[in-house]
Structure 1
């Protein structure tokens, strides 16, 4: 199947395609992510979604929904992020007989490049500030057109993984943990897949985020937990996790104060973020235990946070 060149040219109003580079295939062969150089000197990112025809089941439906959510995110929400939480600009889309072509700003032209795992350590504070700015910007916003509950691992979309878990206290408490997170008073939009691989950085220590297939409503602390777990080892988590939680909270408070929130509201936000921290860890541990029981993220710190969450219940 050949890349849809004419729809790309129609969307970008270019006359010809100079060069096309595959950046990476999409998960489970649902298409590809491309960098397209066009005749006016620009380069753009083209996300070509072509779902396999022979797929079925809950996982397939979740992926189809995720690409529609991402399209709605870029159409209607991304422009409000601003420079604090940089994302690619939406340039347009073209609906195809067998999928969708979405065209986005190429952040490489603004000096951004993908972060390696090692760079994740040096850019961690910038990524935390990105999350704090994102959550503050959308605090209280309705997830219109997005996942009602963001994050790719939340319980309602992962019944198969829950069923695969070994019997035990965490499996028994899965609904109660999910209820704690859904019941957060200060809901925002969450990125939903805020790992290092979905951030780009520049030479000035700034970051931008991509891949918004699982953006939706939720408690922002879930994004922070997922980010920390994607960057830090067990030793580093044990040494620095609560310090980094404090830095996230302070950055969140600064952004909310700038929006005019009063002291009582800010104190309540701080208290809720801290209270939900172990529940967010336990929730992700629940997913991993069902999806891949031997995963490296199932470490000492995650287990300690899970025990704390179960004790709090």
Structure 2
């Protein structure tokens, strides 16, 4: 069996017709589903090879988690190969080079290495500065606005329907916490927990219906997994001269349709200083995004704030089954506040329950 770097070199040669002078293993993908390599060519810029090489799964072990991961990589390949080149300079992402299937379940995706132009990379579960947070908010607003009217002829279905999908689209409902891909997490919420309300009352499905509704103002294409670890920044002295404001986003496995606030909920809960989520600051950050999207002419503030609170509650639903982290205290407090608001839950279920 070939060593991993040799196999990576073979894939690069297959993709671009040139054998690299060096391939170095950078990291293993989540749950051992592949490897990321840096690729050095004789001439030209450094590249990144994302090699999806999932473990073999036998029939009864082919579960929701495995199906979700495989679908997510197919979605990411579609985004880079078909959609990324449509983005304006204000929304930079890694430049797509080439891609190909690798066996029945594998995939190779070759992209630009962004580290030379955007050298500041956040650590996993890292915390951004306030300046970086606002740079990311600007990027998200531009991305969401660009794709607000995007249509997809063949969106990716739920894992349960994956066998009928031939690939070539984004998620029908985007986001890392998409309910139909996270039923195991919903089932994992302890029956004695205060958060069992999501499962036991139909609230989880109602939240999903709200965020998936096709006629909502604010529906757009999400990044799907916005967090510090999926952002790269220029040095501050270079950022002012850059049309992007100095930030680039990558890792588009969960891009798909929903309200833009779905991206904001995960991003703010997972990656920003807790001080930015105090009552006054939370509204200040959200008002900046709202302003960048078009303000009152785009969507009246009370309706936008309603969308935001539903997105917070939906993210809390996922965290309750997955495990709490990030700005946990803020998220729990905001979720409890909404659930205990007199009449809110009954009214919401009446309107949005299946």
Q: TM-score, normalised to structure 1's length? A: 0.89
**Offset of 1:115 from its aligned partner?**
2.4
**Offset of 1:110 from its aligned partner?**
2.6
Aligned 8 A contact 1:285 1:298 in 2: no
Hey, what does 2:164 align to over in structure 1? none
Hey, what does 1:242 align to over in structure 2? 283
Hey, what does 2:206 align to over in structure 1? 176
- Among 93, 111, 114, the residue aligned to 1:104: 111
**Offset of 1:233 from its aligned partner?**
4.6
Q: Does 1:9 align with 2:13?
A: yes
Hey, what does 2:334 align to over in structure 1? 305
* Gap regions ≥5 residues in structure 1: 255-262
Aligned 8 A contact 1:35 1:45 in 2: yes
Q: Does 1:94 align with 2:104?
A: no
Aligned 8 A contact 2:130 2:276 in 1: no
Q: Secondary structure at the match of 2:91?
A: coil
Hey, what does 1:134 align to over in structure 2? 143
- Among 64, 69, 75, the residue aligned to 1:63: 69
Stretch of structure 1 that moved more, 78-87 or 90-99: 90-99
Hey, what does 1:166 align to over in structure 2? 190
Q: How many residues of Structure 1 are paired with residues of Structure 2 in the alignment?
A: 300
* Gap regions ≥5 residues in structure 2: 154-168, 240-245, 349-354
Structure 1 runs of 4+ with >6 Å offset: none
The superposition leaves residues 245-296 of structure 1 with CA deviations (integer Å, 9 ceiling, x where unpaired) of 1111112228xxxxxxxx74x144x44322111111111111111122xx23
- Among 308, 312, 319, the residue aligned to 1:281: 312
Hey, what does 1:189 align to over in structure 2? 221
Aligned 8 A contact 1:112 1:207 in 2: no
Mapped to 1, the partners of 2:128 and 2:107 lie a distance apart of: 32
Mapped to 1, the partners of 2:141 and 2:33 lie a distance apart of: 31
Stretch of structure 1 that moved more, 214-223 or 20-29: 20-29
Structural mapping, 1:13-28, within 5 Å: 13-14=17-18, 16-28=19-31
Aligned 8 A contact 2:211 2:259 in 1: yes
Q: Secondary structure at the match of 1:125?
A: helix
Q: Secondary structure at the match of 1:213?
A: coil
- Among 200, 220, 237, the residue aligned to 2:260: 220
